[in-house]
Amino acid sequence: MSATIADMLRLHARNRPQHEAAVHDGGTIRYALLDRIVDALCMTLVQAGVRPGDLVGLSLPDDVRHLVALLAVIRVGGVILPLDRRWTLRERQDVTTRFGAAIVLTDEHPAPAGWLFIGDAPPEPATSPFDAPAVAIDAPMVLSLSSGTTGAPKGPRLTHRQLISRFMVYWIDIGLGARDRFVIATPLFFGGGRAFALAMIYAGGTVCLFPPPFEPAELTHFVARIRATAMFLVPTQLRRLLAEERNGQVAFRQLRALISSGAALFANEAAAVRERLSPSLYQYYATTEAGGITLLPPEAQDAHAGSVGRPCFGVDVAVVDGEGQALPAGETGRLRYRSPASPTGYHVGDPSGAFADGWFYPGDLARFDADGYLYLQGRAKDIIIRGGVNIHPADIERTLLDMPGIADAAVTAIPSAEFGEEVAAFIVRSAEIGNAEIRAFCAERLARYKVPGAIVFVDALPRNSAGKVVKTQLLPLWQADQARRSAACQ
């Protein structure tokens, strides 16, 4: 493996020039044309002073310009710094300063100082090929920022080889390839959306861009119209599809692979997706920092409901105790893993110790069963210690989501004078249910100390771009609820 993604784009432009490379709201771009458009932006980058090894920020919408920019930065030998367009300008500027970006590409006009406006549309195709520098396969390619739920963004610099190694899981374990028409319906800032898009270009497939936000019916129509064969969605998007009265079963059943990643699907949700949307559901457990961990394919989901699957191709996964010793099947411990796709550390410090001795510790607690299937037991830092007893929020969340009338739920700790910490449940209702009903439902299925001591009803749970609940934002919701109750009693 010595060819970069940009090298493969050049090769596809010669070998299959009229094959569709990208489908977007403005039409279709074939490989020969995409190659020339990327060359044009490369020339602009070089004229702006970008040199191999420079960090280049991308503050762009999730359209074809973003895809072109990714490929151009790769071709000139730069290092991609993803910036979430939902961040404020100050937040984006803080990140570029923190990591030392040489330049930032933007569609904002006028561009902030030190940023480069790249136009309202992709550049006109180059009339002559760009003389690309030789880029080593082990050179850095992207600063893989974690979507994160707390603190400042952080991430390692992934090399070309490490990112391409992640593609092996897509090809070997999921079976994606050059004949696929893959829908990208998540932000290109998000590691999953970016990786699947670049993997399709590397393989010579077709990237079909359908950027959020959108209504479920719009996605259904798009999938049918462009004859999609595969798609990646986060669980939040799947839940919205399931909430629709008409789920477009015909459209989604044409998919060979419907991939869910970014957060865990509960067993009942996965069963509903397979029944009502697509039987070809793949549950892919991965991290932005270190790549894929496990995969649960469609044929294993009935027998191993609730699992996140077995280790992906080439990935070494272990569940260990506090001393780093492997635990036997059935015992819960800290999860760690390593693979050719994994870097060895963060670009800017690692106060959490997530990278250690060649392993990456994502912060999850897990257990293996006797057949080698992995089950997540919650986040190590999310453990609720109530009266000295450790409680995993995931156990309670699974129970809550089994209750009719609950559309979404998250559990975290709140302060308790009596127990130190108490269980608090934050619930999005789909029907009129009350605290007593919820506690009674939980009491039939959980130990008494796991029954939520506090219940807060919310319109929606705070989630990040990966669809993960931002649990640090739950405590203020409880505090606000307490303040409202106190005011009502006065």
DSSP 157-173: EEEHHHHHHHHHIIIII
**Mean of per-residue pLDDT scores for the chain:** 90
Could you give the percent of the chain with pLDDT greater than 70?
Answer: 95
Give the model's pLDDT for residue 146.
67
> Would you kindly state where each structural domain of the chain is located, as residue ranges?
5-368, 383-489
pLDDT tens for 361-391 read 988 889 999 999 999 887 777 778 786 677 8
Give the model's pLDDT for residue 486.
75
> What values do phi and psi take at 269, rounded to 5?
-70, -45
Instruction: Return the structure tokens found at 30.
Output: 């074939």
Contacts of 50 (CB under 8 A, 6+ apart): 56, 73, 76, 78, 102, 103
Give the model's pLDDT for residue 148.
46
Give the model's pLDDT for residue 260.
94
Number of H helices, E strands in the chain: 13, 26
DSSP 119-176: -SSPPPPPSS---PPP--TTSEEEE-----SSSS----EEEHHHHHHHHHIIIIII--
pLDDT tens for 23-51 read 998 799 999 999 999 999 999 999 999 99
Give the model's pLDDT for residue 50.
97
283 close to 290: Cβ distance less than 8 angstroms: no
pTM over 0.85: no
CATH of domain 5-368: 3.40.50.12780
Beta strands in 401-489 (DSSP E): 406-416, 420-429, 454-457
Q: Which CATH architecture has domain 383-489?
A: 2-Layer Sandwich (3.30)
